[in-house]
Structure 1
Amino acid sequence: MEQWNDIEPGKFLQLAAGGNLDSDQIIDVREQQEWDYYHLDSSLLIPMNTIPHRLAEIPAGKAVYIICAHGVRSAGVCRYLTEKGYSSLHNVVGGMAAVASLQGFQYD
């Protein structure tokens, strides 16, 4: 059973644009070249394969929004973080492709 919440990209963008999220609350788990192509300035890049070594950078005491390209890797990271005791995790549905589309950018 999933222990995190899915969040629609529009709702996520409202939160991010409203200045309600700190930079360590939006974790982008894509690779560097994907980040270089398109990313949110308010996010922190922690590629999926580095998560186990960088847990200290992910706040355990507040809501965290995990995003990747399409929502698959971020769901896996949410699952992993849940197993490590994190709560209040949110997977951005459709990932950066959906977010970019809402911002008028053709991601892929």
Structure 2
Amino acid sequence: MSNWEEIEADVFLQLLEKGHIEAGQVIDVRESFEWDYYHLEQSTHIPMNTIPHHLGQIADDKPLYIVCAHGVRSANVCGYLEKQGYGSLLNVTGGMAAIALLQGFQYD
């Protein structure tokens, strides 16, 4: 059983737009070419394979919203961070593809 949760892209965007999510709470774990193509200004880019090297830069005192392209890599990162002792973790369901569609942008 995991302690991390799923959050739908539309709910995530509403929280972001209302200012309920602070800088440093959104971690984008996609590769650099994906980030360069399309990303949220409020997100911090830490590619999945570099997460272990950046644990000191990831806040553990507030909820974290983990996003990738479609929600698979971010789910894996949630599981990893949970094992490292992180508490409130939310995987953005559908990832940037779902977020982009909600914002009127065709991601892939």
Letter in 1 for 2:48: M
How far does the alpha carbon of each residue in 1:42-67 deviate from its partner, in whole angstroms, 9 at most, with x for none? 00000000000001111111000000
Matched, 1:27 2:5: no
Matched pairs, number = 108
Equivalent-residue separation in structure 2 for 1:16 and 1:4 (angstroms) = 19
Letter in 2 for 1:101: L
Counterpart of 2:77?
77
Shift of 1:40: 0.3
TM-score normalized by structure 1? 0.98
Instruction: Give the secondary-structure state (helix, strand or coil) at the position aligned to 2:59.
Output: coil
Shift of 1:23: 1.6
Structure 2 unaligned blocks of 5 or more: none
Counterpart of 2:2?
2
Shift of 1:3: 1.4
Shift of 1:102: 0.4
Q: Percent identity?
A: 62
Alignment of 1:45-84 (within 5 A): 45-84=45-84
Calculate the aligned-residue CA RMSD, in Å.
0.6
Alignment of 1:86-97 (within 5 A): 86-97=86-97
Instruction: Give the secondary-structure state (helix, strand or coil) at the position aligned to 1:24.
Output: coil
Name the stretch that deviates more: 20-29 or 67-76: 20-29
Letter in 2 for 1:6: E
Equivalent-residue separation in structure 2 for 1:99 and 1:80 (angstroms) = 23
Structure 1 unaligned blocks of 5 or more: none
TM-score normalized by structure 2? 0.98
Shift of 1:11: 0.3
